[in-house]
Chains A and B, each alone.
Chain A
Amino acid sequence: MPDPKQSENIEWGDARTVITTGTSDPIAAAWYLTSNRIWPLIAHPVRGPFLLGIVLFLLIVAMVLFSPSTESHFIYTDF
């Protein structure tokens, strides 16, 4: 439930956000709306596991490609 004090001065557009998201805090509302679009995808009993598997794969590939080099280097200083 939104804090009554917080909803005193909000505009109609914000009020709709409050009704949808339960908060007039725009950042919290944005988080709720974004996450609410993602969770149904992941929570789907068929699509969800495949999506999670793909995301795991992409994370692992990204870690291999984008992590800083930790191998021993031979740094030759020409001058």
Chain B
Amino acid sequence: MRHAVVHARWWIAYPVALILLIVLDLAVRSWTPLPLRLPEQYSPTYLRLVLSDIPRDRSTTVLLGDSVLWGYKLRADQTAAAILQTSDQSTRIVDLAYEGGSTVNDDVMLRALRRVGVRPATVIANVNIKEFNPGDSAYSTLHPSLERLSEHALTPGDSNVLDLHFRNSDLNRILNDDVESIWRFYALRSDLREQLFGSDDAAGALLALVHGVTGERETEAALHVPTPDRFLGTYDLTPIGADNVAFTYYRSFVDRLCRNRIPSLLFLTPTNHQLLHEYIDDPNYDANLARLEHIPHCSGVRILNWDRAIPPRYFLDNDHLNPEGQRRLAQLISRALHDK
């Protein structure tokens, strides 16, 4: 190998490779797909592109929230956001919800939107009571990419309260960020992989394929049937107080909507009471719902309690909706928007 390749002139080989990489990068820059919803593990660059793509003219309805609104286990076209967009082509709808989203993330996402100069015509957000449980993994965390993108919008107060992924900059991360700022193809790698493989890496997709063949996927699925016992501890009935981090950010989120005069529709997430009967059919649960519903807010922000709005048969589990459930949610949202 060494004897043969010694004749390969490196001053030709490397420029050839470099030119091809530049061409590829230009192609990626000119064509970055922005599908109906965010990829599961979207990159900071992808989020920045999505936010930059939103018109500045207050013509866009933005959806914020978690996996319920994102459409867990559903295709993008089956979600309430897609249904709303199809039924009303006059308004552009951008779905910025994602799995693990929460009012903490909503507040920071709103800050990110304001930083790029976007003022939505309307914000629609689901407020999921389970995320106010200190034991919930979304309670005081941000999506890593949102955290990276919003680094400059986070205050010392945020750092004290939130479980941030990137507290200390290390040299490798700084260099990585520098490379991402130049090399778009590399910056969008997790998004491209998700488009190509349906997973944020090829190994994950291959593993899923192998598990489909070996039968482990069925075994895994059987172990994860949503039976009531799986939700023990998911819902905390302790009164939500001022020391609750999620509640603090929820208040901040509502205040921010009011200060920026953004007409908003917030709804308490529909919950499957048939499945969760033994945990949430309790006065303390309803008291917490009431605290969330009746938080002080301006007239431009409406908070609706849809906790019991959708019948149990339209749920996949405790709070995620099946396609028909998403259609019903879309109807509720549409009706609420027209009723204002």
Residues of chain A touching chain B, judged by Cβ–Cβ distance below 8 Å, are 35, 39, 42-45, 48-54, 56-57, 60-61, 64-69, 71-79
The answer to whether residues A43 and B4 also contact, given A60-B21, A67-B201, A68-B201 and a CB cut-off of 8 A, is yes
0 or 1 for each of B1-28: is its CB under 8 Å from A? (1 = yes): 1001101111011111100110010000
The answer to whether residues A56 and B8 also contact, given A68-B203, A73-B144, A76-B137 and a CB cut-off of 8 A, is no
A69, chain B: closest CB distance, angstroms: 4
Cross-chain contact B9 with A49 (CB below 8 angstroms): yes
Q: How long is the Cα–Cα vector from A50 to B14 in the complex, in angstroms?
A: 9
Instruction: Identify which of B14, B137, B185 contacts A64 (C-beta below 8 A).
Output: B185
Least CB separation from B72: chain A residue? A78
In the complex, how many residue pairs between chain A and chain B have their CB atoms under 8 Å apart? Answer: 116
Least CB separation from B100: chain A residue? A76
CB-CB contacts below 8 Å: B196-218 with A? 196, 200-204
Q: How long is the Cα–Cα vector from A52 to B165 in the complex, in angstroms?
A: 40
The answer to whether residues A71 and B16 also contact, given A76-B138, A79-B234 and a CB cut-off of 8 A, is no
The answer to whether residues A71 and B190 also contact, given A56-B13, A78-B67 and a CB cut-off of 8 A, is yes
B274, chain A: closest CB distance, angstroms: 16
A residues less than 8 Å from B33 (CB atoms): none
CB-CB contacts below 8 Å: B201-249 with A? 201-204, 224, 226, 230-231, 234
CB-CB contacts below 8 Å: B67-99 with A? 67, 72, 99
Cross-chain contact B17 with A54 (CB below 8 angstroms): yes
Cross-chain contact B231 with A43 (CB below 8 angstroms): no
The answer to whether residues A53 and B141 also contact, given A42-B5, A61-B24 and a CB cut-off of 8 A, is no
